[in-house]
Amino acid sequence: MCLAVPGKIVEIMDAGDPAFRRAKVDFGGIKKEISLAYTPEAEIGKYVLVHVGFAISVIDEEEAMRVFEYLKQMGNIEEELGEVRQ
């Protein structure tokens, strides 16, 4: 039960009470207003994962690169070993 989509925060609407804090999030060109009640640390410019109208996590951009760095390393090793990829 898990459709959550990452988007970039472009505007924040504070309402005093963190439970009512909302944001405008940009999903690749389309914007939707969502709740930031569960991501009090979210700020403009950060990416959040949005599920049924709520941001449930702020994306850790460093961790997001991890798999690509690993693949790059793997690729370099294979090149060095002269392996032919299928």
Partner 1 sequence: MKFVSEYRDPKAAEQLASAIRKKVTRPWTIMEICGGQTHTIVKSGLEDILPKEITLVHGPGCPVCVTPIELIDKAVAIAKRPDAIFCSFGDMLRVPGSSKSLFDAKAEGADVRIVYSPLDALKLAKQNPEKQVVFFAVGFETTAPANAMAAWQADHDGIENFSLLVSHVLVPPAMKALLSSQNCVVQGFLAAGHVCTIMGFEEYFPIAQKYRVPIVVTGFEPLDLLEGIHMVASQLEDGRHEVENQYSRAVKREGNRPAQKTISEVFEISPRQWRGLGEIPASGFQLRGRFQKYDANRRFPFEGVPAQESPDCISGLILQGLKKPHECGAFGVKCTPENPLGAPMVSSEGACAAYYHYGRRQNVQPELSRPASR
Partner 2 sequence: MADAKTFNLSCPVPRVADDRIVLAHGGGGRLTHQLIERIFIPAFGNPMLEQRHDGAVVPVNGARLAFTTDSFVVRPLIFPGGNIGDLAINGTVNDLAMCGARPLYLSAGFILEEGLEMETLRKVVNSMQQAAANANVKLVTGDTKVVDKGNGDGIFINTSGIGVIEEFPCLAKSARHGASPVGLAETTENGMPHVSPGLRDVGTTAASISPASVQPGDAVLVSGDLGRHGIAILSVREGLEFESPILSDCANVWPSVEALLKAGIEIHCLRDLTRGGLATTLNEIASDRNVCIKLEESLIPVDETVQGACEILGLDPLYVANEGRFAVFVPAAHADAALEVMKKVEVSVGAVRVGKVEESPARTVVLQSRIGGNRVVDMLSGEQLPRIC
Binding-site member from 20, 32, 75, 78 for partner 2 (CB under 8 A): 32
CB 39 within 8 A of CB 46: no
Binding-site member from 13, 15, 44, 71 for partner 1 (CB under 8 A): 71
CB of 35 to partner 1, least distance (A): 7
* Residue among 4 and 10 whose Cβ is closer to partner 1: 4
Reading the block at residue 15, the tokens are 């309402």
SS3 string of the chain? CCCCEEEEEEEEECCCCHHHCEEEEEECCEEEEEECCCCCCCCCCCEEEEECCEEEEECCHHHHHHHHHHHHHHHHHHHHHCCCCC
Asked if 79 interacts with partner 1 (CB under 8 A), we say: no
Q: Which does 12 bind (CB under 5 to 8 A by kind): partner 1, partner 2, none?
A: none
Binding-site member from 10, 66, 76, 79 for partner 1 (CB under 8 A): 66
Asked if 71 interacts with partner 2 (CB under 8 A), we say: no
